[in-house]
Amino acid sequence: MKFCNNCKNNLPLDSFGSDKTRKDKKSIYCLQCRADLARTARYAKPERGRSYSRFRRYGITNEQYNDLFDTQNGQCAICGTDKPGRNHPTLYVDHNHTTGQVRGLLCCDCNLILGQAKENCEILVSAIEYLNHWGQSSPR
């Protein structure tokens, strides 16, 4: 049995995660409390996680993202909307999958279009020709 410093309960040892820095090699919080504390921290500062993720994935800092955002006037580089879409709070970082170079910021729909077309210009040109042949629908 071990005492959880958060919920103040005595629980079995298998209710605690590992912590190699502690003498007993177990966390001071039970797994449930540890998850609750992590969730609270994530919701308290969501931008912190996004900033870290952008840096890890694309190599850009939050300042570089904001500069790119300002350069694009807060709009998608393809369609010009200022709404990211799909319940996403920020525009997506578009990058070349071969070189890793960041190209711009896109809304969800434009990011999906490029992804579904496998970033292949021939597929996109073919799609444009198809739409021109059958007539374009009115813009959203």
pLDDT digits (tens, 9 = 90+) for 104-117: 999 999 999 999 99
- Consecutive H or E run containing 134: helix 121-134
pTM (whole model) above 0.75: no
Give me the residues paired with residue 104 across strands. Answer: 94
Question: What integer pLDDT is reported at residue 137 of this predicted model?
Answer: 65
Query: What are the E-state strand segments in the chain?
Result: 2-3, 10-11, 16-18, 26-30, 92-95, 102-106
Question: What integer pLDDT is reported at residue 116 of this predicted model?
Answer: 95
Residues of the chain with pLDDT under 50: none
**Structure letter (DSSP) for residue 139:** P
Assigned architecture for domain 74-134: 3-Layer(aba) Sandwich (3.40)
Question: What integer pLDDT is reported at residue 42 of this predicted model?
Answer: 73
Listed residue (134, 135, 117) closest to 125, CA to CA: 117
Domain boundaries, the chain: 16-58, 74-134
φ, ψ of residue 66 to 5 degrees: the values are: -65, -35
